[in-house]
């Protein structure tokens, strides 16, 4: 739910900033605010954090809410862009509004320019999410420095921040960091154990320090293998020409380790790939097949669309 409050708050904050900048003839600042909102806030955070709601949510109301919020953001952006990129803004508006609601204003250039509802702007929430985004970015940077793929789960992320408010924000929105960085536990610390764990990667930005526990247990390694299998299956779905919502049957063949990963992570693999069945044998005729080696283990996989 925080995502809805945050993106709507950001939307009205951007409207207020754009109006203020234009009144002061600072058009460069206004344009940059729109660009940053569309790229950083809408695309890189809201859409990515909502992807399960868009694709796999079984609650139609929840899915519709996610789409409606995105729609509201994009329509508003088209109106904000109208003075800067008139043809792009018009194309967006025609596609988003006129194609589905012919009774609406026939052109973005005839529509009212957006006005902020300032009572919906939450600066504290904006600061909290900005912190979460910074921490997630630093966590991914630490992974990169250590040469560990994002698909490989890790046990802990250790975070040091400057204020008690930041600590509360991290604890309140911990699940977002855990998913973004792919770690099991978030620990807010007063001092980083740098001397004790010199091999653990450390990343920092201003008053925020992030360290990753990179000790990988066999259980974490198996989970990482499951995620890699899911990635390969998703690529196979595209190569086979399946639609994003098509349900499939997945056939697999491999050694005992591969079989144990499929068995132990069956629910996860099925959910992420829309596989109705995971079958431990050669595929039926007509299935799309690929073979590859993962961490030294040979694996043959076939996918077939249901129906």
Give the domain CATH number at 115: 1.10.730.10
For residue 79, the Cα-to-chain-centroid distance in whole angstroms is 26
Last residue of a domain, one of 198, 216, 234: 216
The percentage of residues in the chain with a pLDDT greater than 70, rounded to a whole number, is 99
**C-alpha distances out from residue 59 to 50, 52, 62, 245, 272, Å:** 13, 11, 5, 15, 17
49 with 154, same domain: the answer is no
Q: Report the CATH number that the domain containing residue 175 is assigned in CATH.
A: 3.30.2320
Number of domains in the chain: 3
Phi, psi of 125 (to 5 degrees): -65, -40
pLDDT in tens, 193-241: 988 898 999 999 999 999 999 999 999 999 999 999 999 999 999 999 9
Regarding whether 14 and 103 lie in a shared domain, the answer is yes
As a whole number of angstroms, the distance between CA 47 and CA 125 comes to 18
Same domain, 17 and 100: yes
Q: Identify the domain containing residue 177 by its residue range.
A: 124-216
Q: Give the three-class secondary structure for 203.
A: strand
Among 90, 119, 148, identify where a domain stops. 119
List own/partner pairs for 177-180 with CB under 8 A and 24 or more apart.
177/132, 177/135, 177/136, 177/139, 180/132, 180/136, 180/139, 180/140
E strands along 44-182, which residues?
154-160
What is the CB neighbour count within 10 angstroms for residue 9?
19
The answer to whether residues 174 and 235 belong to one domain is: no
Q: What residues of the chain score a pLDDT lower than 70?
A: 56-59
Q: Which of 169, 196, 216 is the last residue of a domain?
A: 216
């Amino acid at each position: 739910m925080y995502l809805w409050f945050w993106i709507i708050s950001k939307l009205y904050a951007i409207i207020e900033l754009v109006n203020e900048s234009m009144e002061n003839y600072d058009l460069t600042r206004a344009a940059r605010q729109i660009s940053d909102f569309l790229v950083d806030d809408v695309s890189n955070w809201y859409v990515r954090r909502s992807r399960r709601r868009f694709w796999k949510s079984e609650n139609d109301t929840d899915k519709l809410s996610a789409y409606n919020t995105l729609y509201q953001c994009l329509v508003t952006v088209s109106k904000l862009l109208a003075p800067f990129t008139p043809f792009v803004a018009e194309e967006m508006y025609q596609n988003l509004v006129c194609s589905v609601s012919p009774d609406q204003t026939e052109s973005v250039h005839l529509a009212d320019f957006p006005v902020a509802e300032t009572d919906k702007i939450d600066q504290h929430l904006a600061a909290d999410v900005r912190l979460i985004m910074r921490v997630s970015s630093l966590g991914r940077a630490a992974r990169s420095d250590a040469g560990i793929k994002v698909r490989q789960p890790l046990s802990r992320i250790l975070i040091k921040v400057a204020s008690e408010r930041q600590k509360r924000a991290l604890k309140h929105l911990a699940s977002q960091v855990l998913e973004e960085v792919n770690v099991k536990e978030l620990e807010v610390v007063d001092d980083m154990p740098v001397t004790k764990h010199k091999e653990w990667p450390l990343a920092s930005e201003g008053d925020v320090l992030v360290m990753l526990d990179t000790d990988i247990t066999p259980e974490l390694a198996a989970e990482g293998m499951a995620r890699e299998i899911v990635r390969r299956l998703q690529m196979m779905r595209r190569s086979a020409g399946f639609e994003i919502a098509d349900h499939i049957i997945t056939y697999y063949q491999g050694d005992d380790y591969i079989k144990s990963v499929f068995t132990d992570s069956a629910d996860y693999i099925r959910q992420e790939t829309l596989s109705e069945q995971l079958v431990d044998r050669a595929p039926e005729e007509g299935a799309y097949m690929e073979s590859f080696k993962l961490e030294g283990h040979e694996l043959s996989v076939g996918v077939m669309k249901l129906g």
